[in-house]
Amino acid sequence: MQTPSYLKPGDKIGIISTARKISKEKIDQAIRVFENWGLQVEPGKHLFSEDNQYAGTDEQRAADLQSMLDDDKIRAIICARGGYGTARIIDRIDFSRFITNPKWIVGYSDATVLLSHIHSNFSIETMHGIMPLNFPKNPRCSEAILSLKKALFGEPISYRLEPHPFNRKGTCKGIVVGGNLSILYSMNGTSSDINTHNKILFIEDLDEYLYHIDRMMMNLKRSGKLSNLAGLLIGGMTEMNDNKVPFGKPAYEIIAESVTEYSYPVCFGFPAGHILDNRVLIVGREAEMLVDDAVSLVFIP
């Protein structure tokens, strides 16, 4: 795997939206934070465009991403928000300049398409982490923002967690992959699909029906994506929905039952996903995971 250059004060970063529309007011706080880190912020030309629910047409969103990828002065590209739309433009993008001059790509949720496509096709590390839409009013109290700064500027990344009752104990080492479960499910069989063999798979989701969670886990299982993992890491399963006739199990229990036949370590409750404490995971980097009475995840430089 290739690691893009870390940032330093004075570097320029770009903010784009490959998915849903966003207003300038929604990212002003993030811009202030980035500037306080000594970075120059350049919004995409079409960042505040609108086309129904999207941040501009497919052509406009693709043009913003292409421009940022091709601009050697841009050292990191931050996705402003998720929603839906990245899958509509990913096959329009020419990554040839990016391959010769990699830069950090940061996002989560719908940006899972971009992170996974880059991982599977170009073996370049990316960051699953908080996006400008989600920056809190008091960033100094945010572990999510602190982890993003550490990751972008090249500081070591490690986490120590409280144990969860659904955890399965064990230790493992593997490259971290994954992201939003619904997006991973939708990419199955495409050029953006991920290979999970001997990897630590991370999953999270938002606003899904519980039977959808079960269906998606069955898809991962039947397609072989759960059988040969090094380990499984589960983040937020946030604002889950149920039918009038209850499914009968919460999301964590559904996931735990789907991997009972395997022996690798499983960690629930990792602080990442559609939650306030959305800490950075370096997609494509090897990490060591310990799941015991103490739980830790340490990325290996």
Task: Report the C-alpha gap between 119 and 78 in whole angstroms.
Answer: 17
Residue 92 is which amino acid? R
Looking up tokens 């290996």, which residue turns up? 300
Which one is catalytic: 46, 117, 119, 274?
A: 274
Report all structural domains of the chain as residue ranges with CATH numbers, in order of start.
Answer: 12-152 (3.40.50.10740), 158-299 (3.50.30.60)
Start-to-end CA distance of the chain, whole Å, equals: 12
- Per-residue pLDDT at 73: 97
Which one is catalytic: 17, 46, 116, 204?
A: 204
Task: Report the C-alpha gap between 205 and 214 in whole angstroms.
Answer: 12
Helical spans, DSSP H, in the chain: 28-36, 58-70, 86-89, 96-100, 112-122, 143-152, 181-187, 210-222, 251-258
Contacts (Cβ under 8 Å, ≥6 apart) of 52: none
Whole-structure pTM value = 0.96
Tens of pLDDT along the chain (301 residues) come to: 999 999 999 999 999 999 999 999 999 999 999 999 999 999 999 999 999 999 999 999 999 999 999 999 999 999 999 999 999 999 999 999 999 999 999 999 999 999 999 999 999 999 999 999 999 987 777 999 999 999 999 999 999 999 999 999 999 999 999 999 999 999 999 999 999 999 999 999 999 999 999 999 999 999 999 999 999 999 999 999 999 999 999 999 999 999 999 999 999 999 999 999 999 999 999 999 999 999 999 999 9
Q: Clarify whether 212 is annotated catalytic.
A: no
Which one is catalytic: 17, 42, 46, 109?
A: 109
Residue 143 CA: distances (Å) to CA of 8, 53, 108, 146, 160: 20, 30, 16, 5, 13
| DSSP output for 184-202 | HHHHTTSTT----TT-EEE
Q: Clarify whether 109 is annotated catalytic.
A: yes
Task: Report the C-alpha gap between 92 and 58 in whole angstroms.
Answer: 9
Q: Clarify whether 158 is annotated catalytic.
A: no
- Per-residue pLDDT at 177: 98
